Structure 1
Amino acid sequence: MLRTMKLTAMTLGMMCAAQAMAAADLTVISFGGANKTAQEKAFYAPWEKAGNGKIIAGEYNGEMAKVKTMVDTKSVSWDLVEVESPELARGCSEDMFEEIDPAILGKKEDYVPGAIQTCGVGFFVWSTVLAYNADKLKTAPTSWADFWNVKEFPGKRGLRKGAKYTLEFALMADGVAPKDVYKVLASKDGQDRAFKKLDELKPNIQWWEAGAQPPQYLQSGDVVMSSAYNGRIAAVAKESNLKVVWTGGVYDFDSWAIPKGSKNAAEAKKFLAFTLGADQQKTYSENIAYGPANTKAVSLLTAENQANMPTKAENIANQVQLDVAFWTDNGESLEQRFTAWAAK
Structure 2
Amino acid sequence: MSLLLGLPATAAIAQEINVVSWGGAIEASQVKAYNEPFTAATGIGVKAIAADDPASPLKTQIEAQNVTSDVFDVAMSDAIRLCDEGALVEIDPADLPDGADGTPAADDFLDGALWECAVGNIVAGTVISFNRDSFPDGAPSTVADFFDTETYPGKRSLAKSVKRTLYLGLIADGVPAAEVYDQLATPEGVDRAFAMLDTIKDDVVWWEAGAQPPQLLADGEVTMTTAYNGRIFDAMINEGKPFDIIWDGQFLELNAFVIPKDAPNPQAAMEYVKFASSTEALAGQARYISYGPARKSSTALLGLYQDDKTEIAPYLPTAPEHLENAVMDDPEFWADHDAELTERFNNWLASD
The answer, yes or no, to whether TM exceeds 0.5 is: yes
1:202 counterpart = 2:214: no
Q: How far did residue 77 of structure 1 move?
A: 1.4
Equivalent position SS for 1:287? coil
Matched, 1:46 2:37: yes
Q: How does 1:1-344 map to 2 (within 5 A)?
A: 18-22=8-12, 24-62=15-53, 64=55, 66-105=57-96, 106=98, 107=104, 108-137=106-135, 138-238=137-237, 239-302=240-303, 304-344=311-351
Whole-angstrom CA distance in 2 between matches of 1:269 and 1:179: 34
More helix as a share of residues? 1
Query: Does the 8 Å CA contact 1:20/1:53 hold for their aligned counterparts?
Result: no
Separation of aligned partners in 2, 1:139 and 1:302: 31
Aligned length: 328
Kept in 2, the 8 Å contact 1:79–1:263? The answer is yes
Specify the code of the residue in structure 1 equivalent to 2:140: P
The CA deviation at 1:64 is 4.0
Amino acid of the residue matched to residue 139 of structure 2? A
- Counterpart of 1:183, as a letter, is D
The offset of 1:336, in angstroms, is 1.7
Tell me, in whole angstroms, the C-alpha distance in 2 between the residues paired with 1:305 and 1:64.
29
Distance in 2 between residues matched to 1:310 and 1:166, nearest whole Å: 17
CA offset at residue 306 of structure 1?
0.4
Q: How much is the aligned-residue C-alpha RMSD, in angstroms?
A: 1.7
Work out the CA distance in 1 between the residues paired with 2:253 and 2:34: 21
- Whether contact under 8 Å (2:22, 2:54) holds in the other structure is no
174-183 or 44-53, larger mean C-alpha shift: 44-53
Q: Give the deviation of 1:266 after TM superposition.
A: 2.3
Other structure's SS at 1:176 match: coil
Q: What residue number does 1:6 align with?
A: none
Q: 4+ residue runs of structure 1 moved beyond 6 angstroms?
A: none
Identity score, percent = 36
Deviation, 1:158, is 0.8
- Over residues 35-78 of structure 1, what are the superposed CA-to-partner deviations in whole Å (9 max), with x where a residue is unaligned? 11111111111111123311121122226454234334543211
Match of 2:4 in 1: none
In the alignment, residue 343 of structure 2 is paired with which amino acid?
A: Q
User: 1:210-259 deviations in whole A, cap 9, x for unaligned?
Assistant: 11111111122211111111000000113112111111101011111101
State TM-score, norm by structure 1: 0.91
Distance 2:130 2:93 in 1: 39
Residue 255 of structure 1 aligns to a residue whose secondary structure is strand
Give the deviation of 1:313 after TM superposition. 1.1
Q: Partner of 1:11 in structure 2?
A: none
Greater Rg, structure 1 or structure 2?
Answer: 1
Contact 1:162–1:339 (8 Å) recurs in 2? no
Cα displacement (A) at 1:18:
4.1
C-alpha distance in 2 between matches for 1:64 and 1:39: 17
Query: Against the structure 1 CA distance between its residues 147 and 18, is the aligned structure 2 distance closer, same or farther, given a 3 Å change threshold?
Result: closer
* SS of equivalent to 1:271: helix
CA shift, 1:22, in A, is: 4.2
1:12 equivalent in structure 2: none
Q: Secondary structure at the match of 2:37?
A: helix
Q: CA deviation at 1:194?
A: 1.1
Deviations 1:174-227 (A, max 9, x none): 111111000000111111111111111111111111111111111222111111
Alignment partners' CA distance in 2, 1:68 and 1:128 = 26
Unmatched tracts of structure 1, length 5 or more: 1-16
Look up the SS of the partner of 1:77 in the other structure: coil
Residue type of the partner of 2:243?
L
Question: Contact 2:154–2:203 at 8 Å: present in 1 too?
Answer: yes
My pick for the range that moved more, 328-337 or 304-313, is 328-337
TM-score by length of 2: 0.89
Farther-moved stretch of structure 1 (250-259 vs 270-279): 270-279
8 Å Cα contact 1:112/1:311 also seen in 2: no
- Unmatched runs of 5 consecutive residues or more in structure 2: 1-6, 99-103, 305-310
SS at match of 1:289: coil
1:271 counterpart letter in structure 2: Y
